[in-house]
Amino acid sequence: MLQEITNKKRPRQRMSKKKVTSKPIYSAQTRRGIQDLMEIISGKWKLPILITLFEKPYKFKELCRKLKISPRMLTRELQDMEMNKLITRTVCNTKPTTVEYAVTQIGLTLKKVVAEMGAWGIAYRKKMSARHNKDVSHK
C-alpha cells in the first residue's frame, strides 16, 4: 500500500511563463531624498516651529511662549533650521535687540509636504480609532 501511494504521480502544477521581476518602487535617488528630508525635519520641535512660522514671522520670545519650548532648545532647533536654509534670522534694530525668524522660499516648499503629512495623520487616527472602537465593542 505504501508503494502505491509513493508511486502515484502528483499532478503537475502549471508555472506561469511570465518572468516575475520586481522593480523597486522608489529609486536609490528617491530613497536618498527621503532620507535627507527626514534628517532635516526630524526631532520633536522642527515641524511645530516650521508650521508656526508658516503663519507669519515670529520673534524669539513669541515662539518660546507659543510653542511652550525652552529658550535653549528653541535656539538649537532654530540654528539647525537656519543652517538648512529653512528659515531666516533677522536682528531687529530695537532696544533691547530682538530677533525675528521667518520661513525662506526653500522652507515654503515644505508646506505641501507638511499638509499631506497632516492629512495622512488625520486619516490614520480615524482608522485606528474606528478599529479600537470595533475591538472594544466585541469584548
Rounded Cα distance, 9 and 11, in Å: 6
Rounded Cα distance, 47 and 44, in Å: 7
Q: For the chain, what is the domain count?
A: 2
The CATH number of the domain holding residue 73 is 1.10.10.10
My answer on whether 96 and 53 are in the same domain is yes
My answer on whether 81 and 94 are in the same domain is yes
pLDDT digits (tens, 9 = 90+) for 58-73: 999 999 999 999 999 9
pLDDT digits (tens, 9 = 90+) for 76-95: 999 999 999 999 999 999 99
My answer on whether 115 and 100 are in the same domain is no
Residue 48 CB contacts under 8 Å (≥ 6 apart), including other chains: 67
Residue at 118 is within a domain? yes
Quickly tell me which residue has 505641501 as its cell.
112
User: pTM of this prediction?
Assistant: 0.74
My answer on whether 100 and 47 are in the same domain is yes
My answer on whether 88 and 134 are in the same domain is no
Q: How far is CA 46 from CA 27, 32, 92, 99, 125, in A?
A: 27, 20, 23, 18, 22
My answer on whether 134 and 95 are in the same domain is no
Name which of 69, 65, 49 is nearest 110 in CA terms: 49
My answer on whether 52 and 92 are in the same domain is yes
Range of the domain at 117: 109-139
